[in-house]
Structure 1
Amino acid sequence: MSGPLAGIRIVELAGIGPAPFACMMLADHGAEVIRIERPDAKRGGPGGDPAKDILLRSRKTIAIDLKSAAGIGVVRDLVASADGFVEGFRPGVTERLGLGPDVLLGTNPRLVYGRMTGWGQDGPYAQAAGHDINYIALAGALHAFGRAGEKPTPPINMVGDFGGGAMMLAFGMVSALLHARTTGQGQVIDCAMTDGAALLMSMIWSFRGQGLWRDERGVNLLDSGAHFYDTYACADGKYVSIGAIEPQFNAVLREKAGLTADPAFDRQMDPRGWPALKEKLAAVFATRTRDDWCAILEHTDACFAPVLSLAEAPAHPHNAARGTFVEAGGVIQPAPAPRYSVTPTTTPQMAGERTDTENVLAEIGYTTAAIAALKTGGVVA
């Protein structure tokens, strides 16, 4: 394995969404991640095709029956050899399985035990079901997403599941792993998507505290309120993005768009004029196609980029030059990020339909006879 986390072993209890993404990131950066699935999990069946599931890339899989005492024993043996453990169940579930923090850290005091939930391990909502949209709603983030006079618009599930959840957990795991290596002391990470989504809004809270942000949608600097920070439709129905905040960049935009002579644009930061200026700018962008505007504005300081679809993004010259997207197992997908000058990230490898059960158990000391007995008893598959 390559990457700065080479030599780190993480055990992952199979789940969906943010916990797998966090483990994908750890694997991307060199950790050996072993994913535990149920023996009856339909790999490649109606629940999804593991060969095309990007969130499952670059790790091993072992199938264990967690409803059996013998299966729980296998998990404990596996975790005893690990640096980290990740689970994404409701609070109390792993304790009832016999895989709670007290048990696993009792065996492996250096273990970093990562817990991924929406609401957190405690609090009035802790045991309630929920999804990204609910977590970012309670965090105060969802209220900020949307245009003036319209209802809140969920930004798909980037803010709760992946930004406030998975990436916070990956950061927490690495931080706690560093602490464990220094001190020999493991610990539990309580990663709640609501907490993480709130944290991602730190700059907006800062603006609000300074009187620079109104607590309503679509009227502020960064939420489509300003004419110089928005998307615009072109003559062909495609869109461009503009983010010309700084005066010098806004001047370039005005010059390239032929708006230098219009004195109304001189009062860039006066919110009272934003609606009218937005109408003017929209009319200008509607006169040309997106490709026309790319020819005019790309590679300038107008803070411009075309709005690309998922189908278009991998082929854009900038993304192609940097290798922002890669193909693995016939699936186009984002490449690991960020990048390192010395320890390159792992080349993505897609999951297969078979598990790595026998190899993983052999690595932690199980004999061929012991593995065969577990298989015969249905404990592993």
Structure 2
Amino acid sequence: MGRVARLSAGPLSSFSSTSSRGPLDAAAAVGSPEGAESAGLAIDGSGQRLREDPVGPLTGIRVIEIAGIGPGPFCAMMLADMGADVVRVDRASAVRGGDPDHPPRDLLNRGRRSVGIDLKSPEGVEAVLSLVEGADALLEGFRPGVAERLGIGPEVCLARNRRLVYGRMTGWGQDGPYSSAAGHDLNYIALAGALHGIGRQGEAPVPPLNLVGDFGGGGMYLAYGMVCAMLEARTSGRGQVVDAAMVDGAASLMTAFFGMAGSGFWSDERGTNMLDTGAHFYNVYETADGRYISLGPIEPQFYAELRERLGLHGPEWGQPMDRSRWPELKEKLAAVIAQRTRDEWCDLLEGTDTCFAPVLSLAEAPEHAHNRERGTFAEVAGVVQPGPAPRLSRTPGAIRRPPPHAGQHTDEILAELGLDEAAISARRESGAVA
């Protein structure tokens, strides 16, 4: 057997709030109320343990999120995972059209509270601006100019709260020839030069899910920019606008490749370079059972170990950086890998210095022994999901609550603004809130 057991047959492991291996003490084990209370945890209706006490590095930060899709919610999830009090402003129509008997499954919305507000109502706009007055940041993902037309643009919001950080998530950016055009992740990474390099030689570019634009170049960069701006506001006392464009973020992720291309180390022909399936030693191979493994022994000592374990003793394997031999060696290595099943390769290579890992599905990844041991995934309210990342040793992130129903916390949030029951009821009857 390899040094790491490959796949556990048991159910998804629970997370201990006392584990020294990571910050997922928010986690998700089913347990008794007494045990949860002693650990400082709250239990929701399904019996899942969630972290309610403020332990994250962003505890004390309040963020107003204007409901959107994709990268904006991902940014808000990252901030909420790290302790920020994120208030999601959902459309009143989403509240009225929701199904309270079915729990929300959009995991990007976890960790926050939801208030239902009609942004086209003057009273609704005033409610948002009242929230802004007590917030550290606001984020929205409208096309340029929409927030201004609604009356919640940066100029209005910063007039109400000069320390406010105003995060704007778009694909193309707030200006430029494409700024008002529709688009999606695929288009943004295409314009950034990222999509061109993803795929095999002689074939069309391959969309890498929507990881590079929406989440990596979009939501992650917006979260980074907002935290930077909030830190600066503590010194200057002044907020600012964060213009996070997915084209910009995806281009930034390509910095190293632009450097390699400029130095002549990277070819613009995809599938011919060391890191884009050109090399035999950095690739994905099909196994005898139709599954796949990944190999990446770039360094000489790791490549030597792979040769030894696979019995690749011929002279053709001795010069791995000879690019002229890569196509031939890819075919030969593919033939070797095809002789065993994925699990058999796991038995031989897992946990070694051959730079090996099995290619796992979404269903398999949470059950792998390494991910279980580290608590990489959690099960909250019956839904398996990745836990917060990265891991902080003293003020760890946590999943504090499952995704809310739209408008689930409307009364609670409006009461925090000083409205009594009669005032809240009046606004609900007028349709300004829901």
TM-score normalized by the length of structure 2: 0.85
Matched residue pairs, number?
378
Q: Which deviates further from its counterpart, 37-46 or 82-91? A: 37-46
Q: Tell me whether 1:243 sits opposite 2:296 in the alignment.
A: yes
Moved over 3 A (4+): 42-46
CA distance in structure 1 between the aligned counterparts of 2:161 and 2:211, rounded to whole angstroms: 34
The answer for the alignment partner of 2:363 in structure 1 is 311
CA distance in structure 2 between the aligned counterparts of 1:139 and 1:50, rounded to whole angstroms: 38
Displacement of 1:368: 2.4
Displacement of 1:43: 7.6
- The CA deviation string for residues 122-177 of structure 1, in whole angstroms up to 9 with x for no partner, is 00000000000000000010000100000011101000000000000000011001
The answer for the alignment partner of 1:263 in structure 2 is 315
Q: 1:50/1:183 Cα in 2 relative to 1: closer, same or farther (>3 Å)?
A: farther
CA distance in structure 2 between the aligned counterparts of 1:351 and 1:329, rounded to whole angstroms: 10
Q: Equivalences for 1:339-358 in 2 at 5 Å?
A: 339-353=391-405, 355-358=408-411
- The answer on whether the counterparts of 2:198 and 2:207 sit within 8 Å (CA) in structure 1 is yes
CA distance in structure 2 between the aligned counterparts of 1:177 and 1:149, rounded to whole angstroms: 46
- The answer on whether the counterparts of 1:44 and 1:50 sit within 8 Å (CA) in structure 2 is no
Q: 1:26/1:322 Cα in 2 relative to 1: closer, same or farther (>3 Å)?
A: same
Displacement of 1:364: 2.1
CA distance in structure 1 between the aligned counterparts of 2:104 and 2:266, rounded to whole angstroms: 45
The answer for the alignment partner of 1:275 in structure 2 is 327
Given the alignment, which residue of 365, 370, 373 partners 1:321? 373
Displacement of 1:351: 2.2
- The answer on whether the counterparts of 2:346 and 2:357 sit within 8 Å (CA) in structure 1 is yes
Opposite residue 310 of structure 1, the aligned amino acid is: L
- The answer on whether the counterparts of 2:95 and 2:116 sit within 8 Å (CA) in structure 1 is no
Q: 1:337/1:44 Cα in 2 relative to 1: closer, same or farther (>3 Å)?
A: farther
Opposite residue 363 of structure 2, the aligned amino acid is: A
Q: Tell me whether 1:288 sits opposite 2:354 in the alignment.
A: no
- The answer on whether the counterparts of 1:9 and 1:33 sit within 8 Å (CA) in structure 2 is yes
Q: 1:64/1:44 Cα in 2 relative to 1: closer, same or farther (>3 Å)?
A: closer
Given the alignment, which residue of 142, 162, 175 partners 2:228? 175
Displacement of 1:360: 0.5
- The answer on whether the counterparts of 2:387 and 2:398 sit within 8 Å (CA) in structure 1 is no
The answer for the alignment partner of 1:35 in structure 2 is 88
Q: What SS does structure 1 have at the residue aligned with 2:180?
A: coil
The answer for the alignment partner of 1:359 in structure 2 is 412
- The answer on whether the counterparts of 1:43 and 1:50 sit within 8 Å (CA) in structure 2 is no
Displacement of 1:45: 4.8
Displacement of 1:302: 0.3
The answer for the alignment partner of 1:252 in structure 2 is 305
Displacement of 1:216: 1.1
The answer for the alignment partner of 2:191 in structure 1 is 138
CA distance in structure 2 between the aligned counterparts of 1:314 and 1:346, rounded to whole angstroms: 17
CA distance in structure 2 between the aligned counterparts of 1:182 and 1:266, rounded to whole angstroms: 57
CA distance in structure 2 between the aligned counterparts of 1:100 and 1:352, rounded to whole angstroms: 26
CA distance in structure 1 between the aligned counterparts of 2:113 and 2:219, rounded to whole angstroms: 19
Q: Tell me whether 1:373 sits opposite 2:416 in the alignment.
A: no
- The answer on whether the counterparts of 1:176 and 1:187 sit within 8 Å (CA) in structure 2 is yes
CA distance in structure 2 between the aligned counterparts of 1:253 and 1:346, rounded to whole angstroms: 39
- The CA deviation string for residues 49-74 of structure 1, in whole angstroms up to 9 with x for no partner, is 66211011010000001111111011
Given the alignment, which residue of 86, 106, 112 partners 2:139? 86
Q: 1:44/1:340 Cα in 2 relative to 1: closer, same or farther (>3 Å)?
A: farther
Gap runs ≥5 in structure 2: 1-53
The answer for the alignment partner of 1:6 in structure 2 is 59
- The CA deviation string for residues 107-136 of structure 1, in whole angstroms up to 9 with x for no partner, is 100000000000000000000000000000
CA distance in structure 2 between the aligned counterparts of 1:146 and 1:358, rounded to whole angstroms: 50
- The answer on whether the counterparts of 2:287 and 2:339 sit within 8 Å (CA) in structure 1 is yes
CA distance in structure 2 between the aligned counterparts of 1:83 and 1:76, rounded to whole angstroms: 13
CA distance in structure 2 between the aligned counterparts of 1:376 and 1:340, rounded to whole angstroms: 45
Gap runs ≥5 in structure 1: none
Q: Tell me whether 1:119 sits opposite 2:177 in the alignment.
A: no
CA distance in structure 2 between the aligned counterparts of 1:289 and 1:268, rounded to whole angstroms: 25
Q: Indicate the structure whose relative CO is greater, using CA pairs within 8 Å and at least 6 residues apart.
A: 2
CA distance in structure 1 between the aligned counterparts of 2:390 and 2:89, rounded to whole angstroms: 27
Opposite residue 62 of structure 1, the aligned amino acid is: V
Q: 1:39/1:359 Cα in 2 relative to 1: closer, same or farther (>3 Å)?
A: same
Given the alignment, which residue of 363, 374, 382 partners 1:330? 382
Q: 1:191/1:43 Cα in 2 relative to 1: closer, same or farther (>3 Å)?
A: farther
Opposite residue 390 of structure 2, the aligned amino acid is: P
Q: 1:44/1:2 Cα in 2 relative to 1: closer, same or farther (>3 Å)?
A: farther
- The answer on whether the counterparts of 2:287 and 2:341 sit within 8 Å (CA) in structure 1 is yes
- The answer on whether the counterparts of 1:116 and 1:165 sit within 8 Å (CA) in structure 2 is yes
Q: What SS does structure 1 have at the residue aligned with 2:181?
A: coil
Opposite residue 330 of structure 2, the aligned amino acid is: K
Q: 1:266/1:44 Cα in 2 relative to 1: closer, same or farther (>3 Å)?
A: farther
Given the alignment, which residue of 218, 222, 242 partners 1:165? 218
Q: 1:225/1:3 Cα in 2 relative to 1: closer, same or farther (>3 Å)?
A: same
- The answer on whether the counterparts of 1:112 and 1:173 sit within 8 Å (CA) in structure 2 is yes
Q: Tell me whether 1:76 sits opposite 2:102 in the alignment.
A: no
CA distance in structure 2 between the aligned counterparts of 1:245 and 1:44, rounded to whole angstroms: 53
- The answer on whether the counterparts of 1:114 and 1:191 sit within 8 Å (CA) in structure 2 is yes
